[in-house]
Structure 1
């Protein structure tokens, strides 16, 4: 990257990162319009940074309230001082990721925006120092970095606690990050295997009525976890690990009596576990094991008035030493911004009903 200064073409570059050049009339107050110009050395990476038809810049414009105009390898930012500084920080961070050979998607752009805005006013990001406020999980294929403050707290809890509950709406990355951390532990041989479990409520736990072997019976219920595994690991390795038992599919109905040692154990869709099933599962924890329980208590499929084992466990164990509880909300949705609006609408609609029930 080069720093554009005056109009003189022979002005030497002063550093490897883009710099903001403000118009001489720009004052320090946030309410005064600011003009910022960034230039990037690599035209190919700049094209990737701006996105197809400038969609990454459009997302930055919409989220930060600035105007971003690209021309070649230059981008001009106009707007309030804080918005322009935040947009600059986002672009610098993403360009640094591209320089390291990483691909960026719109989710990464949204994550960078959330990270910058979570730092408060005029976040001073220094990509040369590789300063990171959001934690990440190191994998052989690529690092997995938190995109929201809630995800950051979740990753930190996974590293700190033996048992972690990830509770919240769909699309917040609970399961995906849980699988990523389990893969991290397996790749570094901190555990010998990954065990994946999920209640099969739709089949009434009577898996014998489904055709095929055990893997084929439970596959439909664990498809989201398979998708995460194939995204985070080489597909051929996943297949070999399933054959060798390094990755094991263990339906919740068949977990009773086992001791799960030297393993990363994930229970997904735990809101569909009964109170007895949850107690049974949690007490399977063996030596040198890590357990992650994810679910959305608002989407339980349990029949009648059965109490969700997830909601009960979080209430009982939230303050126990060695156990972490991370709660996600609608604003933490990273799947598609429309999903966040849908979740928020349902939460708002259910709030009055909850108040009437409590009264």
Structure 2
């Protein structure tokens, strides 16, 4: 495939060599699909494939940038990681942002097992994983489908396997744990189970199902509603609070103060999806305001570009965000009008 370009006076020519044709296919996709996308991102750069070599020509700064992108894609493909349009977009953003060099987006696996490998797939996901490694408390903030809970679970299982912690505690608020919960059939465990089911599902992706009951019976893994955390001190544990936007301020403070020695906490949620009664402030939103900048606590924010579910999910998130922004502008104009 050849993408022609008109060379300006400050032009440069460079080449990137691939060891095998198979490696080149894995880096650029079938029929060089990703290379065509890259040519659209850098239209001034000519791209020409010759055997197992990619020749670049065009303005020197753009040629240098494309070379770094291609070297990163080659490095990722060498590790048998999937090179997708989303991965390429992240690499391009890294290069443009100055985080360059082969493997700048290092997609090293977090956890392997049950026939799958779990790894960060976007820049924000990589930042999130690195934040969990270096900080005691990490907040993962953003829309559904961005991997906040799933990656936190993978890091928890990794920490348990490495004996960095002695147990994993997974918890969520049962938002309707008052009157309406009483109308559900069954005992307390049956009533609460639907709220915790997403955590069980993720756990089954990472640990052999037959070993989960044994680990839960021994207390190595605990899945419980947030109310069960009250009055406890959680030492040597990896604790994940999911759907944290549905905590009250009091619940969030209660949870955070359970932190014990040798423990790590990850709090995930989306402040745009609060299910609390009208007039009740989200404990997650409050915690972000109060704790931003505190040593040992990090906030990692995701957006629609990090959605790793069906491509339509990203479009849906963007559409709702645009509508919310429009509603906010309308409300502001209305208040100003009344003020006059």
- Shorter-normalised TM range: 0.7 to 0.9
Specify the alignment match of 1:261 in structure 2: 235
- Map Cα deviations across residues 126-158 of structure 1 (whole Å, 9 max, x no partner): 4xxxx4454756435476443333223222221
Aligned residue for 1:8?
A: none
1:183 equivalent to 2:157? Answer yes
Deviations 1:31-78 (A, max 9, x none): x9x8978655374x6666665xx38x435533662799999x868688
Is contact 1:135–1:156 with CA below 8 Å preserved after alignment? Answer: no
The answer to whether the 8 Å contact 1:86/1:117 transfers is no
Q: Deviations over 1:283-331 (max 9, x none)?
A: 2222211111110000111122211111011111112222111222233
CA distance 1:28–1:237, change in 2 (3 Å): farther
Equivalent in the alignment of 2:86: 110
Structure 1 unaligned residues grouped into runs of 5+: 1-20
**What is the CA-CA distance between 1:341 and the residue it aligns to?**
2.6
Does the Cα contact within 8 Å between 2:146 and 2:302 map onto a contact in 1? yes
Which residue matches 1:58? 33
Decide whether aligned partners of structure 1 residues 140 and 229 sit closer, same or farther in structure 2, where only a CA change above 3 A counts: same
1:319 is the counterpart of 2:297:
no
Which secondary structure state, in structure 1, belongs to the residue aligned with residue 325 of structure 2? helix
Q: Relative to 1, partners in 2 of residues 1:164 and 1:223: Cα closer, same or farther, differing over 3 Å?
A: same
The alignment yields a C-alpha RMSD, in angstroms, of: 3.9
Partner of 2:78: 96
Check whether the contact 2:230–2:254 (CA below 8 A) recurs between aligned residues.
yes
Q: Give the superposition deviation at 1:86.
A: 5.6
The residue aligned with 1:6 is none
Distance 2:93 2:55 in 1: 17
**Residue in structure 1 matching 2:279, options 287, 290, 305:** 305
Q: Distance in 2 between matches of 1:150 and 1:250?
A: 28
State how far apart, in whole Å, the 1-side matches of 2:88 and 2:82 are: 10
What are the superposed Cα offsets for residues 220-278 of structure 1, whole Å, 9 maximum, x if unpaired?
A: 32333333323333344444323432111110133222222211111111111122221
Verify: 1:252 aligned to 2:229, yes or no.
Answer: no
CA contact (8 A) 1:86 1:122 kept: no
More deviation, 202-211/173-182: 202-211
Q: Is the 8 A contact 1:85 1:122 kept in 2?
A: no
Note if contact 1:169-1:330 (Cα within 8 Å) is conserved in structure 2: yes
TM-score by length of 2: 0.76
- Report the 3-state secondary structure (helix = DSSP H, G, I; strand = E; otherwise coil) of the residue aligned with 1:304: coil
Who is 1:220 aligned against? Answer: 194
Is the contact between residue 143 and residue 303 of structure 2 (CA under 8 Å) also seen in structure 1?
Answer: yes
TM-score norm. by structure 1 comes to: 0.73
| Cα pair 1:318 1:324 within 8 Å, conserved | yes
Partner of 1:5: none
Structure 2 residue 324 is the aligned partner of structure 1 residue 350: yes
Match of 1:41 in 2: 20
Task: Tell me the distance in 2 between the aligned counterparts of 1:145 and 1:326.
Answer: 17
Pick aligned residue for 1:280 from 228, 239, 254 = 254
Unmatched segments (≥5 aa) in structure 2: 336-340
Aligned residues: 322
- When structure 1 is superposed on structure 2, of 149-158 and 79-88 the one drifting more is 79-88
